[in-house]
Structure 1
Amino acid sequence: MGKGSRRKAAADQSDSSDVESMSSVSTTFSELTMANETEHVNSLDFQLEKYIDALYEKRFIARGSVRETALLGLAEAFEGQVLLPFIENKFVTLLHQYLSSIKKGSAKEACLASRTIGLLAITIGAGNSAHEIMEESISPLSQALVSGSDKTKKKSVMDCLALVTFIGANDLAETETSLKTIWQVIYPKSGPNVGSIKKPDSAVLSSAISAWSFLLTTIGSWRINPDSWKESISFLSNLLEDSDRSVRIAAGEALGLFFELGIFDMNFQKEGTNIDKLEHEISKHGTFHHLQGLKAKILARASDLSTEAGGKGTDKKNLNDQRDLFQKLLDFVETGECPETLLKISSKQGFLMTSTWAQMIQLNFLKGFLGKGFLKHAQDNELLHDIFDFEQDRTGILSTKEKISRADDKGWTQKMNKDRKLAQVYRSIFKLCM
């Protein structure tokens, strides 16, 4: 509509003798533009429909099954664009085919199917449809975790399980079910088959901790009973001694979240907490002293990891990531200063900012899952806008009158710039005072 208005305005300003000619050219250009846009949409829809049809195939080609190729194509399409209109009436069909690939397909097919389910949930956003995706997926995903030993498959399944629960869960019980399932991968002794399960591979372990931490961010501090989580905290604190740096980093992120929840300070002054009952349990089991001991152990180890020297052949990036994370953890515990992240989304939308430990974990997880598609989803996906309290750029859908009004309002622009500068000054003063 905006382009058509501009074309009409240009035609109105032309000589009367050229009006008919200009109008004809304008109409032809408009029809061509609409035809090209429609062709692009129809072409994409047509290709996606072909991928969906291929999910029913059982034939094999030279480089894998037809279904694997289709799943890869669907994953790339949903990663790069927010295809909500396309899936609104197809998500049930897609979900059932994806789940079939997880149950009956190869390890590679199960990996791709897990990823596409996660992308399906991210695209459709929170609501009844997301809850249906979660309900249908939890059992097959949980079974896939305990069947087979393929590392990549386990990582993909855990990421998917965390995502569908994060987006679709309606209550604490549903979240706890998935947390327990993932925790059994992290700490096999907590599961039913203790004798037959070995310590997971480092890559699987670090991935499981990250998925578990991501899901844990949805639980408010008032729901945390320290006596129920002390075993988890104790195990995670031991992982700070692990030989693999990725495991140490993942464990540090999870422990930072527990510090933010106030569990080490026995912060029970929250709505819905029975103070007398908790104090009785603390006294009975010695939870308070146990947690204080763990806190001292964690902070001492964090201090070492924040200044660890790199030897010959050390992966400098991972080492710097470790130092940075544990320094943030120390700063947070000592000063209460939350780690901040600024990520540029676009020239119009500006920066996405996180200012809590939980948001930092959420951002890291979603960036890792969406990969190169993160910026596109950050720009256009309402789910991410809600998670990070980030407003969608609406300038493209403003009326001409609204655009002119905003552009001419110099006072509004000056006020916004002033507010931003003041915020920066206050932040600097706060840091100096701390």
Structure 2
Amino acid sequence: MCTKFYDSEFSFLISTTEIGNSQIIYEEFWFYTEFVNIFFQNTTLQEKEKERKIENVIKERKEIVIKERKEEKERTERKEKEGNGKERTERREKENLVLYKFLLEQLMNQRQKRNTPNNPRKNKIKRNENFAQKENEGSSSEEESNQFETQFQELVDSLMDSNSITRCEKYAELNHNISHYYLPIIGDFFDDTLLAVKNSLKKGSVEEQVLAIRCLLLFSITLEDAADEIFNQFEPLLLKYSLEGQNKLKIASIEALGILSYFITNTGDLDSSQKILRHCISILKNNFIPQNGGHEIYIAKVLNMCSLLLSLQANDFIGIELSGNNESDGGIFFEYIVNIGKSFLEYPDLDVRISSGRLITLAFNLKDRLEREEVVDSDIDVDAIVEIFNKLMKEYSQKVSKKTKTKQRAEFKQYISSIEECIYPKDLITIKSNKIHLEEWPKIIQLNIIRNFLGSGFQKHIEKNFLFSQLFGYRIKVESHRQKHYNKKSQRKEQKKNKKYRQQNITKERKKKNNFENQFM
């Protein structure tokens, strides 16, 4: 008997026969059960794979969402930072607008004075028109000048702020305004700024100290008699920082000492410049080999300050003290400087080589001046120095770049021509329509150092700064608003002198009283 039936789920055929064929039925049933187990196993594996895929998709989605959230946070932070930067720039623009307007009004007044014709009738008409305009606009100009003074006072007061970042920002802003515009109004805020600079030099960070030293130098450039006062107050600190601390602070302090002593010597005091020159020579003599590297800029700056201060010794080349001994012979001092400069000619840094060559050529230039008077005799071999200069001019090594080769060639070519043929470099200063010609190394070295320090504000200072006209020998017209400032300066000098006399008289009277009382004791 044979029966057939189908399973509804699996549609599988099972056949049964008689009892004699029981073994076959068993085998077919066993095969059926095995098939069912395998099928169920396959279904569970498929479900697990699906679950794994779903989990992987969820993980990927989570990671994408996390990344998007991070990007959104970064965008918002950037927007906030950009917003703060915009606010700062807007503040600076608003603060500078008042200054620009004040300067523009001065320029317009100068142009009106130049363009006024000689006809008196037309001049009267124009004066009446200008007077009517000034009655309407005079109040606004006075308000703007008062705003400028108040803003400048706020800027100076913020130098004493508790936060170091704000102090650095205000120093940078003040330095920018003083260097790019000649502002004699600074004299009214001189004492307050000196107090702020003292605090920042003693307690501030390195960046703040560097900015404060630059502020001192800018004050000494804009105000005539400020350099002497600044040098007397800050000389010990600057001498200390020129030997200790980080390279930035060393560079700023040695530059400040050189430039301050340069301005003081032009007033007639040569002792300070000789003192700083000896200090620079001792640095080069004792500490010119850097142990850890990174001192190239510092050494180049010291050599430049040596050349600046040596350029002032054109008339007093003899009698400078070296290492505490008075040298009566100018030839000994000349040999001393040439040997120091010679030791840096084979230095790996380009700026150090150029500045050392400049120092040697300056010494030869000063020697040529004094040899005309038959004062200097030296045993230095000039041909040996010229050979070294020729080697540096004709350098063919592949390790050196083309840019450095061209720069070195141009500089040392000038040095050789000035030593051998006495052909000195020339430079021009243009002040509106006037042209001033400078020749020989001393004045050119002085001009280049001041030009590099002031940067783009050099032209403004040359056109309006009375101190530069004295240094480089040209005339300048002192305007009315500047004449008031000079009158204030003279009043201050008289007040200081009167204070000294009063104190001296008071001390004399006290001594007289004490002596008179001691007679009867």
Aligned mates of 1:369, 1:92 — CA distance in 2: 23
Q: Does 1:296 align with 2:383?
A: yes
The answer to which of 46-55 and 25-34 deviates more is: 25-34
Do residues 370 (structure 1) and 454 (structure 2) align?
yes
2:282 is matched with 184
Match of 2:426 in 1: 340
Instruction: Say which of 145, 148, 153 aligns to 1:49.
Output: 153
> Which of 336, 349, 371 in structure 2 is aligned with 1:231?
336
Mean Cα displacement is larger for which, 304-313 or 362-371? 304-313
Matched-pair contact (CA < 8 Å) for 2:424–2:441? yes
Tell which has more relative contact order, 1 or 2 (C-alpha 8 A, sep 6+): 1
Determine if the alignment matches structure 1 residue 163 to structure 2 residue 259: yes
CA, structure 1 residues 389+10, in 2 after alignment: closer, same or farther (shift >3 Å)?
same
1:185, CA displacement in angstroms? 3.3
Q: CA 1:12/1:202 → structure 2, altered by over 3 Å: closer, same or farther?
A: closer
- CA shift for structure 1 position 198: 7.1
- 1:267 Cα deviation after fit: 2.7
Residue of structure 2 in register with 1:218 after alignment:
312
- The aligned residue for residue 131 of structure 1 is 228
Q: What is the distance in 2 between the residues matched to 1:387 and 1:120?
A: 17
Q: How far apart in 1 are the matches of 2:314 and 2:304?
A: 18
**Which region of structure 1 is more displaced relative to structure 2, 153-162 or 1-10?**
1-10
User: Structure 1 pair 41/184, CA: closer, same or farther in 2 (3 Å)?
Assistant: farther
Q: CA deviation at 1:13?
A: 6.5
Give the C-alpha shift of residue 236 in structure 1. Answer: 1.0
| 1:175 aligned residue (253, 260, 273) | 273
How far apart, CA to CA, are the structure 1 residues paired with 2:315 and 2:219? 30
Distance apart, 1:386 and its partner CA: 1.5
Q: Letter of the aligned partner of 1:157 in structure 2?
A: S
Rg bigger for which structure? 2
- Whole-angstrom distance in 1 between the partners of 2:396 and 2:260: 39
After TM superposition, the structure 1 = structure 2 runs for residues 359-398 of structure 1, keeping only pairs within 5 Å, are 359-392=443-476
Amino acid at match of 2:201: I
Of 177, 184, 203, which residue of structure 2 is paired with 1:104? 203
Q: Render the CA deviation track for 1:212-246: whole Å, top value 9, x for unaligned.
A: 21122111244332313533321211211111111
Question: Cα–Cα, structure 1 residues 296 and 34, in superposed 2: closer, same or farther, change >3 Å?
Answer: farther
Task: Give the conservation status (yes or no) of the 8 Å contact 1:222–1:268.
Answer: no
> CA separation in 2, counterparts of 1:67 and 1:342?
38
Q: 1:26 to 1:223 in 2, by over 3 A?
A: closer
Query: What secondary structure does 1:262 align onto?
Result: helix
Q: 1:75 is matched with which residue: 153, 175, 189?
A: 175
Superposed displacement of residue 255, structure 1: 1.0
| Residue 305 of structure 1 pairs with residue 389 of structure 2 | no
Q: Is the 8 A contact 2:463 2:476 kept in 1?
A: yes
TM-aligned CA deviation for residue 345 of structure 1: 3.7
SS at match of 2:220: helix
Is 1:154 matched with 2:253?
no
Letter in 2 for 1:111: V
The amino acid of 1:112's aligned partner reads L
**Match for 2:158: what amino acid?**
A
Pairwise CA distance, 1:114: 0.9
Q: Any conservation in 2 of the 1:379–1:393 contact (CA below 8 Å)? A: no
Q: Residue 36 and residue 376 in structure 1: after superposition, are their counterparts in 2 closer, same or farther (change >3 A)?
A: farther
Report the secondary structure of 1:55's partner residue: helix
TM-score calculated relative to the size of structure 2: 0.61
User: What is the CA–CA distance in structure 1 between the aligned matches of 2:293 and 2:260, rounded to whole Å?
Assistant: 26
Match of 1:255 among 360, 382, 396: 360
Change over 3 Å in CA distance of 1:222–1:162 after alignment to 2? closer
Change beyond 3 A, Cα 1:59–1:253: same
Given that 1:307 and 1:323 are in contact with CA atoms closer than 8 Å, whether structure 2 keeps it comes out as yes
Question: Per-residue deviation at 1:326?
Answer: 1.5
Q: Partner amino acid for 2:231?
A: M
The answer to whether the 8 A contact 1:81-1:377 is kept is yes
- 5+ residue gaps, structure 1, are 15-21, 283-287, 398-434
User: 1:294-337 deviations in whole A, cap 9, x for unaligned?
Assistant: x3222112122334358587262x54332222211211122222
The verdict on how the C-alpha distance between 1:12 and 1:307 changes in structure 2, with shifts beyond 3 A counting, is same
Q: One-letter code of the match for 1:147? A: E
Identity %: 21
CA distance in 2, matches of 1:207, 1:90: 30
Structure 1 residue matching 2:160: 3-state secondary structure: coil
Report the CA distance shift for 1:214/1:35 in structure 2 as closer, same or farther (over 3 A). Answer: farther
Match of 1:405 in 2: none
Per-residue deviation, residues 357-378 of structure 1 (Å, max 9, x unmatched): 0111111100110011111111
Does the residue aligned with 2:371 lie in a helix, a strand or coil?
coil
SS of the residue 2:436 aligns to? strand
Q: CA RMSD in A?
A: 3.4
- In the TM superposition, structure 1's runs of 4+ consecutive aligned residues that sit over 6 Å from their partners are 11-14, 196-200, 394-397
Amino acid at match of 1:173: D
Matched, 1:356 2:440: yes
2:220 touches 2:230 (CA, 8 Å); kept in 1?
yes
Q: Which residue of 2 aligns with 1:38?
A: 142
Q: Which residue of 2 aligns with 1:430?
A: none
Structure 1 residue aligned with 2:348: 243
SS of alignment partner, residue 88 of structure 1: helix
Pair 1:222–1:173, CA change in 2 (3 A): closer
- 1:90 is paired with a residue whose SS is helix
| Residues 244-286 of structure 1 deviation map (CA, whole Å, 9 limit, x = unaligned) | 11111111111111011117x983837xxxx7xx8xxx7xxxx
Q: Distance in 1 between matches of 2:181 and 2:136?
A: 24
Aligned length: 356
Q: Supply the distance in 2 between the matched residues of 1:371 and 1:87 (Cα, whole angstroms).
A: 20
Match for residue 190 of structure 2 among 68, 71, 91: 91
